[in-house]
Amino acid sequence: MIQSTEPKTILLTGATSGIGREMARSLAQQGANLVLACRNPAKAEALCAELRNTTGNPRISAMILDLACLDAVRRFCAEFRQRHAQLHVLINNAGAFSLQRRETCDGFELTMGTNFFGPFLLTCELAPLLAATPGARIVNVGSAAYRYGKLDLNDLQLTHDYDSFPAYAASKLAVQFWTQELAVRLAPAGVTANVAHPGHVKTAIWDLWPQPTWYQRLFLNLHAILMISAEAGAQTPLYLATSPAVAGVTGGYFAKQQQRPVAKLAHNLVLQRALWALAERLTGARWGGL
């Protein structure tokens, strides 16, 4: 539990809806110095005002961040470093799911660009700040869908045969590999990095099919049986962000607040390191060691 007498600085992306909103509510109640990184300024400010009013916590602020634009990520990080001397917890929660193939302003396929490349650059830019903060944590919101993912480093932009779910699964496999490599690289600095699978959560992502085909409708109907609330989905990432029980635990995959074995396809260390090197080159990130 975060003590309000010594508030920890927590950066949360994608806070205005779904599990991000529930995490923001819980962290605000715990007295965190909470920074909400959101794409929509009006929604972000409205949420800040709501949380300040309902929780009595005045240490809630919003900063604008578009993870689908690398220049925007760099500007955000520069401003964040000016405002904050420490970063105790970074929660990479924001994500995308696209039915059609679309591109970010940098030419990345939108799902991979938003779910992986943007957070990759954000985390690299803020890594020195995390390393300078005792006991800092990184929580990457992943998905069990990574088990169905395939990564072709020669076509991460999915220019051939795009399909929405394989694109999403590939992005979450990239997150799994990236988190495992982060854990190795940040271990000397005492920073932990873990993946949280929130569960199959009922969020606005499933409203993307305004006129679903018969098989999409069947999928949604079957999937709805297993869906949980956003509040329930927020519990595992919150656990990784705040619980003393996982202090020092790193490189893990968690579901239902329990560490789970990582699927065999995510044990490929060669691919893991090659993905990191490619992400550095494509985003212009400069890790440089800590």
Q: Does domain 9-199+233-283 have CATH number 3.40.50.720?
A: yes
Q: What angle do CA 130, 69, 41 make, to 5 degrees?
A: 80
C-alpha pair distances (Å), 246 with each of 13, 89, 191: 21, 13, 12
Spot the catalytic one: 146, 148, 162, 168: 168
**Mean pLDDT, to the nearest integer, of 40-48?**
95
The H or E element containing residue 120 is: helix 118-131
* pLDDT for 239 beyond 80: yes
Report whether 120 contacts 167 (CB < 8 A).
no
* pLDDT for 3 beyond 50: no
* pLDDT for 115 beyond 60: yes
Using only the alpha carbons of the chain, give its radius of gyration. Answer: 18
The H or E element containing residue 62 is: strand 60-64
Q: Domain residue spans in the chain?
A: 9-199+233-283
The H or E element containing residue 11 is: strand 9-13
Q: What is the pTM of this model?
A: 0.90
Six-digit token string for 119: 């957070």
Q: Is 148 a catalytic residue?
A: no
Residue 176: which of 69, 77, 92 has the closest Cα?
Answer: 92
3-class DSSP assignment, residue 269: helix
* pLDDT for 123 beyond 50: yes
pLDDT for 55 equals 97
